[in-house]
Structure 1
Amino acid sequence: MNRFFVVPSQVNQQARTISIVGDDVKHIGKVLRLVVGDLVEVCDGQALEYIGRIDEISKEQVTLSIEKQENIFTEPPIQVRLYQGIPKATKMELIIQKTTEMGISDIIPVMTDRTIVQFNNEKDREKKVERWQKIADEASKQSKRGKIPRIHIPMTYTKALEACNENDLNVLAYEKEKTMGLKALIASLVEITEVKSIGIWIGPEGGFTGKEIEKALSHDVRSITLGPRILRTETAGFAVLSMLMYELGDLGGA
């Protein structure tokens, strides 16, 4: 069943109807060729998801009647933010797509010393983020997410570090770290049940510089090893997120 996202204001609980507007209207009518009477899944991105039956399709909106309503159950119990050193070419798109499928909550593109990608101006930056957000939107629909991850405007490494104290724990994948792995770090945390938000720090091609590592450690970011093999930037985030979701999230069952 096709899945769509709305904001809570598009749900009329009194009339038991949902209005879908924007690009999804064309997608429903022209691409998917759905018709009156077809059922679709709708999520409000916050707490509730619905099964809706199409009552009316116009150029401006699709109106659904609510057939079923229940709480969202597809979101992980922990909030994980990815601080990704911006890689070259389409690697960022792959990272966004796959980490969205796995349950990431936010992706913060970070400009580091070894970041090669440059933005010509603010408009160029916003246009790139708009494309990345669409990739996250589509991946959220495909993977039956309850919420769409937010793709933030790219920020400097320094600003990202200043903002990361909102997380209960921050971990940075560092190839020169030899002793502390993610599993050992989690086991060492006495109040692990209090950890509800985690930041994952991944460098671009070439990794973080020594000065960047020192700066991260001074902000209480914990460095971890991912094992004896060096992972590519587009692989490292998947690996850490998978480990976290297995240990603290909802991968692997109860």
Structure 2
Amino acid sequence: MYRFFVEPSQVEETVIRICGSDVNHIKNVLRMKTGEEILISTGETMEYTCYIEEFLEDEVTAHIMYAQEAGYELSSKIYLFQGLPKSDKMEWIIQKAVELGVHQVIPVATKRAVVRLEGKKEVNKQRRWQAISESAAKQSKRMYVPEVSHVMSFKEALAYAKNLDVILLPYERAKGMQETKAIINSIKPGQSIGIFIGPEGGFDEKEVEQSMDEGAKAITLGKRILRTETAGLTVLSVLMFALEE
């Protein structure tokens, strides 16, 4: 069953009015018909099961069959601070991170990042990344679309993460697996978590020191060296398993 997202203002007593780009997607891409059932979320805790009632020129009306509280989301909000990778790797990272339950993705311009995004180029990239997040959220039955923020400097990212309950930093010089397991097991459901992932060249030593000064906990991901597009998803997978209720 296809899922769509709307603003709470689009929900009436028995009808939800779908507008924007989803109208064309429903009509001309999916070629759906009246009577077909769909799922609609307002980004809150309720999920609506509806059937398509009517096609208008610039909107689709969906009749609410029933609403239920859905438990698809993790109790903890997880923030992925991803050092800007080369090529289109960021698109793949965002897609998979959303599938794994991330709350927000924050692209970070670290010292060793080769990619530099500024001005119109950054705006276009962010728009593209947000569209990928929305598509992944629909596919994985998320209750809301995780935000992909503007690109932050490393200093800005640390300041943004300052109020989170836990900050994790996968680092090749971190202590053994037992210490990492203890850190993961100490995280309680409901706590907010930040994951800092470096670009292809990893973090600069000063960036690691600054992270530790702000309370980040260094963890190991095992004896193998993981690519930047694998490391964050590995931590997200571990946290999903540990925190899923």
Please, what TM-score do these two structures have when normalized by structure 1?
A: 0.93
Aligned pair 1:242/2:237, yes or no? yes
> What is the one-letter code of the residue matched to 1:114?
R
Measured in 1, the distance between the counterparts of 2:49 and 2:180 equals 39
Query: Is contact 1:46–1:147 with CA below 8 Å preserved after alignment?
Result: yes
1:169-192: per-residue Cα shift (whole Å, max 9, x none)?
0000111113364322134x4xx4
Query: Is contact 1:78–1:249 with CA below 8 Å preserved after alignment?
Result: no
Query: Is contact 2:76–2:189 with CA below 8 Å preserved after alignment?
Result: no
Correspondence for 2:174 among 171, 174, 177? 177
Secondary structure, in 3 states, of the residue corresponding to 1:12? coil
Matched residue, 2:12 = 12
Matched residue, 1:39 = 37
- Aligned-residue CA RMSD (Å): 1.3
Measured in 2, the distance between the counterparts of 1:27 and 1:78 equals 32
Measured in 1, the distance between the counterparts of 2:2 and 2:242 equals 31
Correspondence for 2:63 among 47, 62, 65? 65
Query: Is contact 1:99–1:238 with CA below 8 Å preserved after alignment?
Result: yes
Query: Is contact 2:184–2:239 with CA below 8 Å preserved after alignment?
Result: no
Give the 5 Å matches for 1:176-215: 176-179=173-176, 181-187=179-185, 189=186, 192-193=187-188, 196-215=191-210
> What is the one-letter code of the residue matched to 2:11?
V
Matched residue, 1:102 = 100
Matched residue, 2:217 = 222
> What is the one-letter code of the residue matched to 1:6?
V
The structural deviation recorded for 1:123 is 2.0
Query: Is contact 2:77–2:190 with CA below 8 Å preserved after alignment?
Result: no
1:229-250: per-residue Cα shift (whole Å, max 9, x none)?
1000000011101111111234
Measured in 1, the distance between the counterparts of 2:184 and 2:53 equals 50
Query: Is contact 1:169–1:195 with CA below 8 Å preserved after alignment?
Result: no
1:127-178: per-residue Cα shift (whole Å, max 9, x none)?
1001000001000101111111110000000010011022100000111113
Measured in 2, the distance between the counterparts of 1:84 and 1:172 equals 11
Measured in 2, the distance between the counterparts of 1:97 and 1:7 equals 22
Measured in 2, the distance between the counterparts of 1:48 and 1:149 equals 16
Provide structure 1 residue ranges, at least 5 long, that are not aligned to the other structure. none
Please, what TM-score do these two structures have when normalized by structure 2?
A: 0.96
Query: Is contact 1:93–1:132 with CA below 8 Å preserved after alignment?
Result: yes
The structural deviation recorded for 1:195 is 5.2
The structural deviation recorded for 1:202 is 0.4
1:95-150: per-residue Cα shift (whole Å, max 9, x none)?
0000100100000000000111112x322211100100000100010111111111
Matched residue, 1:163 = 160
Measured in 2, the distance between the counterparts of 1:93 and 1:232 equals 15
The number of residues matched between the two structures is 244
Q: Which runs of 4+ in 1 moved over 2 A?
A: 178-182, 192-195
> What is the one-letter code of the residue matched to 2:165?
D
1:52-105: per-residue Cα shift (whole Å, max 9, x none)?
111111221000110010112111111110000010111101100001001000
> What is the one-letter code of the residue matched to 2:51?
R
